[in-house]
Structure 1
Amino acid sequence: MYDPASGTWTATASLNTGRDLHTATLLPNGKVLVAGGSNGAALASAQLYDPASGTWTATGSLNTARYLYTATLLPNGKVLVAGGDDSNFNASASAELFDPASGTWAATGSLNTARYRHTATLLPNGKVLVAGGGDANGSSIASTELFDPASGTWAATGSLNTGRDSHTATLLPNGKVLVAGGVTNSGTAASAELYDPASRTWAATGSLNTARYTHTASLLPNGKVLVAGGYNGDGGALASAELYDIGLGFVSPDWQPQIATVTRISGSRLTLTGSRFQGVSQASGGNYQDSSTNYPLVQLRNIDNSQVAFVLVDPTAGWSDTSFTSTPVTNFPSGPALVTVFTNGIPSDSKFLTLESLLQLTGSVSRKTHGGAGTFDINLPLSGEPGVECRSGGGNYTEVFTFNNNVVSG
């Protein structure tokens, strides 16, 4: 394990089964799911790593052994596995969902096109964009499709301008997806393109300085993307790295909001301090069509699965040019996250924050048991005018509280 504080590595427990070409997914409960991969043949087994004990335990096996697939943590906490090569070394179209609560896998809708060495990106709307990859004939393909967790189905969307596999896909702060490099049917690619979820189309953007595949791409807090390593057209390992600048076209840092601190208060609310949260102007014409944009939009982005949420201002604490206090953050995964302030459409540099699993009371009732007559509940309001709980006669009473997350021992 790597410790950023000391910059050192320490050994931890070994996997129960050696494997490569697998995936590792951080779950909301803090454990890490490793599934599939290859040890000379495709594997179906899966294991969970517990950071608290530093040990691995077996969990439910995949329905289809596979490697070179994708794994995506969904907003509902389940993990979507799609495509890959199967035990017969054939490209697979099958997909399945892992449920951490039960430790089991269930089949979901199959891809329209079997593929491997593709990418899968969780979009802000909750859908998953699968792009490119290699097909059953070993050709690099341009087709892309969207998975809808609500229906469990896939739908075709706009095709890449250049078919590719072994590329990277990165969700940018503006909601678009950057695809870069990879292998095409003509060789190693330097080209890059952007997917716009609003129009469902791809557009070319600036090319890499060095053509590469099987590289990495990391979104940095300042909104740039770091591309590093990989292989060149001759199969040689690359040491070079380069930065992609989205080029938002504003005067930085003079117009850019700045975050100084981000802290969690009162359980699940966030408070930010900094400057230019109101921007440098209303960014509007000021007439009857006035549409001010200097209200700060505060974005949370989960680092592990790129889930995005915008938090609202607390109506009591309010906001100013130097501070912002949010309403409670709910239905957002725990773990490392980036916080960004947008004012006049201009993003701040992001601040790192670790969100612990947050419990929020969402409902409360008083439950009375009437023997054979059954039970009835008296709702106890959480907001507004206080309610009065009336009790008379004998019987057993139970207070029932409902939280937005699982209650676990700590």
Structure 2
Amino acid sequence: MTSRIRSVAAALVFLGCLVTLTSAFNLPNRSPHVSSRLAFLSMAPKPAQHRTMLTLADRVAYQRVIEEVYWRHRIWPKERPDPKPSLDAVMTRAQLERKVADYLRDSQALEDYWQRPITAEQLQAEMERMAQQTKQPEVLRQLFAALGNDPFIIAECLARPVLAERVIAELYAHGRRFHSDPKRGTESGAETQATVTMAAVSASYALPLILNSSGGCIDDTWTPTTLTNAPAGRYNHTAVWTGSEMIIWGGLGSSSFFNTGGRYNPSTDSWTATSTTNAPVARGRHTAVWTGTEMIVWGGFSSGATFLNTGGRYSPTTDSWTATTITNAPTARRTHTAVWTGTEMIVWGGSPTISTYLNTGGRYNPSTDSWVATSITNAPTARRYHTAVWTGNQMIVWGGYSQDAINHYWNTGGRYDPVSDNWTPTSTTNAPDGRAIHTAIWTGSQMVVWGGTFFDGIIEDLNTGGIYTPGTDSWTATSTTNVPGGRYRHTAAWTGSEMIVWGGTLDDATFLNTGGRYSLSTNTWTATSSNNAPSAREDHRAVWTGSQMIVWGGYDGGYVNTGGRYCAQSQAPMAQSAFSRKTHGAAGTFDIEMPLTGPSGVEDRSGGATHDYSLVVTFSGNVTVTGLPQSQVITGMGCVGSGGTCDPNGTVSVSGSIVTVPLTNIADQQVINVQINGVNGASDEPAVNVNIPMGFLTGDVNGSRLVNSTDVAQTKSQVGHVVGAGNFREDVNASGAITATDVSIVKSDVGHALPP
């Protein structure tokens, strides 16, 4: 035993030195200034390859490519006034190295301590599991493509980390411990690094076929979330959706409160534990919001009825926690609400003790780590178990419960403006009956509340609701035709066209696994399928991914760690991603992201003599394009076509969920809008027009929207390098080689910029 531990220790020190040495160099074929780019290689599969070595620098480079894919899908809340930063702004090279070192260390420990080396057969099986069980096939395809569709690289850099963590967790779960901390997240320095023999490096792998390759799902169906590595069962926890992962944290289990959590990745159908290093103290009935880069948790209560006014900011990119200040923090509380405004988290209401209530709150600014109290002038009556939504400029709170000599179930609320620090009451005319433990969602223009409970001598579980329009301060009732049964402690999610409610309880003893989809436009209800639905439960949590609702955890008489994904296809097809695609000679095909919202992406490559480009748009499911013209450039100079000839029919090519638009005569230094007309997901659904903004600025290799000396220097640094995922933008003429010609093109464009 002693000799084995010594051999592991020696390996740890060795890799620590290796990390330090390789950190002094740029990654292979990679520009050091790639903060604004996201590249995906050609989708064409590659044959299995035999390799003998994968250097640490290689692994770090591939890890960054993986993180770029996830970062691209990371939600940047539309409320935020600042543009989404580059990956380099939120993840350092040292943090990438740490991620690589962590999975290498796990692999080394499995081999040297447990005598359970990861084999080639296991890695092949893990790739196949991902391909067969993925709940986000489009994202998994992007991950595979980003790794060149190379099965060896996918096995080593995508499958190995997931497999190593799962096997380690299983061994710890069975009491076969190596260190006292099963996550080993508190270690630092060279001791956290490890090398790994990896007998599998010379093996041959086959690229698995990703099932459900269209990227869609079957409407009104359930698929379970994996139990492997799932957090312990709990309720009264929180959940947020980042755009690529669901993060759950905290809550109450069978014997204690938790300060643990997990990140569920639907593209690989896998769980990763959140770090407990510097995590807030264990708690339940707290709140959580997603800021675009961090999850902020705050408040709640813990063992011994301890009420809390502490919290923490969790970065999934670095798997690290930062405490929120308690200076000027609101009074400790539970069952309050929290919303994210784009710059601040606003918390309000709740209970500071078992039997008292608050109408106070605070605004927390994570950039300054500071609190400012919310006004109590004209604030709603103190309460708990209310709801809150953010409209884009106001927080609306409504409903809830308080008690003095009698029970109060409120049908009142208020609109809070953080700019003026003022409250305005919501109308009670035609408002729904007072209630608590209901749900509320924001549609973009209206708040929809539904369900809940009140007590007037007997418990009443409600299946009624209301639609509140703040612009007119008015209420409209939701339909009760075909409505789900009354309930509370359920969840609700907004899909963009429907509200989905699910689960809950009738009386804290009868649990439900039924639900309904409410269409705001038609004021109608449709039941959700119960086939393969998760077990009946209350106090679970739900998030909306853009195409599916994920529910997890809760209480059914016990504490559950199961969940499910419910597919609710939008009535209108939704674009998931857009890219400008070019082929760089023999080097392959590379894509530049064109974000669907916010500032446009920047295409820096020249379009040749006739200024030709290709726009590739991926939808949530298979589509047809029925408009005439099928596509067109609606703003800017250029047209749909090729070789300098405009196509009056705007002809596109459609392959399943992917639509490709050929563009020609595209002028430089402009942002255009390309519209695809009559996109239809099914014969009985309405067709929609989809607009994609595209920026064109030849020579802007770092995507800063200005061509300057930095672009020149960056291109010079890559001359003679093989064109790859990390430096293809420097191949400005898309020839397949970075040469003095590319440098000359960039120099000639210095001073050019995109319009503000």
TM-score bracket, normalised by the shorter chain, equals 0.5 to 0.7
> Could you say if the C-alpha distance between residues 211 and 381 of structure 1 is closer, same or farther in structure 2, counting changes exceeding 3 Å?
closer
198-207 vs 4-13, greater mean Cα deviation: 4-13
> Greater helix percent: which structure?
2
Report the alpha carbon displacement of residue 262 of structure 1 after superposing the two structures with TM.
8.0
Cα distance in 1, alignment partners of residues 289 and 414 from structure 2: 21
Amino acid at match of 1:220: T
| 1:73 counterpart (290, 298, 309) | 290
1:94 aligns with 2:310: yes
Cα distance in 1, alignment partners of residues 384 and 700 from structure 2: 48
Cα distance in 2, alignment partners of residues 391 and 55 from structure 1: 39
1:193 aligns with 2:516: no
| 1:9 counterpart (222, 238, 258) | 222
| 1:150 counterpart (355, 364, 367) | 367
**2:323 aligned counterpart, secondary structure:** strand
How many equivalent residue pairs?
A: 298
> Could you say if the C-alpha distance between residues 211 and 121 of structure 1 is closer, same or farther in structure 2, counting changes exceeding 3 Å?
same
Which structure is higher in RCO with an 8 Å CA cutoff and minimum separation 6? 2
Q: Is the 8 A contact 1:361 1:401 kept in 2?
A: no
Report the alpha carbon displacement of residue 16 of structure 1 after superposing the two structures with TM.
3.2
Instruction: Please name the residue that 2:443 is paired with.
Output: 220
Report the alpha carbon displacement of residue 53 of structure 1 after superposing the two structures with TM.
2.5
Q: Is the 8 A contact 1:43 1:87 kept in 2?
A: no
Instruction: Please name the residue that 1:178 is paired with.
Output: 396
Query: After superposition, what is the alpha-carbon deviation per residue over 1:94-143, rounded to whole angstroms, capped at 9, x for unaligned?
Result: 1111111221222121233101101111114x111111111135311011
Instruction: Please name the residue that 1:374 is paired with.
Output: none
Given the two structures, how large is their TM-score scaled by the length of structure 2?
Answer: 0.35
Amino acid at match of 1:72: V
Query: After superposition, what is the alpha-carbon deviation per residue over 1:49-86, rounded to whole angstroms, capped at 9, x for unaligned?
Result: 110222323221333001000011113x1110000011
Query: After superposition, what is the alpha-carbon deviation per residue over 1:263-284, rounded to whole angstroms, capped at 9, x for unaligned?
Result: 656432559xxxxxxxxxxxxx
1:109 aligns with 2:325: yes
> Could you say if the C-alpha distance between residues 193 and 261 of structure 1 is closer, same or farther in structure 2, counting changes exceeding 3 Å?
same
Q: Which runs of 5+ in 1 are unaligned?
A: 250-259, 272-313, 319-325, 330-350, 366-379, 404-410
Q: Is the 8 A contact 1:163 1:185 kept in 2?
A: no
Structure with max Cα Rg: 2
Cα distance in 1, alignment partners of residues 334 and 698 from structure 2: 43
**1:88 aligned counterpart, secondary structure:** helix
**1:193 aligned counterpart, secondary structure:** strand
Q: Which runs of 5+ in 2 are unaligned?
A: 1-134, 137-215, 474-571, 581-592, 598-633, 639-669, 674-687, 730-756
1:38 aligns with 2:262: no
Q: Is the 8 A contact 1:34 1:47 kept in 2?
A: yes
Cα distance in 2, alignment partners of residues 165 and 269 from structure 1: 39
Amino acid at match of 2:310: S
**1:64 aligned counterpart, secondary structure:** coil
Q: How well do the aligned residues superpose, as a CA RMSD in angstroms?
A: 4.2
Amino acid at match of 1:10: T
Report the alpha carbon displacement of residue 327 of structure 1 after superposing the two structures with TM.
5.5
Cα distance in 2, alignment partners of residues 190 and 131 from structure 1: 17
> Could you say if the C-alpha distance between residues 7 and 150 of structure 1 is closer, same or farther in structure 2, counting changes exceeding 3 Å?
same
Amino acid at match of 2:275: G
Query: After superposition, what is the alpha-carbon deviation per residue over 1:23-48, rounded to whole angstroms, capped at 9, x for unaligned?
Result: 111124x1111111001421111111
| 1:21 counterpart (214, 228, 236) | 236
* Matching of residues 202-241 of structure 1 within 5 Å: 202-207=423-428, 208-221=431-444, 223-234=445-456, 235-241=459-465
Cα distance in 2, alignment partners of residues 81 and 34 from structure 1: 11
Q: Is the 8 A contact 1:364 1:382 kept in 2?
A: no
1:52 aligns with 2:267: yes
Report the alpha carbon displacement of residue 211 of structure 1 after superposing the two structures with TM.
0.6
Cα distance in 2, alignment partners of residues 42 and 352 from structure 1: 49
Report the alpha carbon displacement of residue 228 of structure 1 after superposing the two structures with TM.
0.8
Given the two structures, how large is their TM-score scaled by the length of structure 1?
Answer: 0.62
Instruction: Please name the residue that 2:561 is paired with.
Output: none
> Greater strand percent: which structure?
1
**1:202 aligned counterpart, secondary structure:** strand
1:168 aligns with 2:387: yes
Cα distance in 2, alignment partners of residues 43 and 219 from structure 1: 30
Instruction: Please name the residue that 1:84 is paired with.
Output: 300
Query: How high is the sequence identity, in percent, across the aligned residues?
Result: 25
Amino acid at match of 1:176: Q
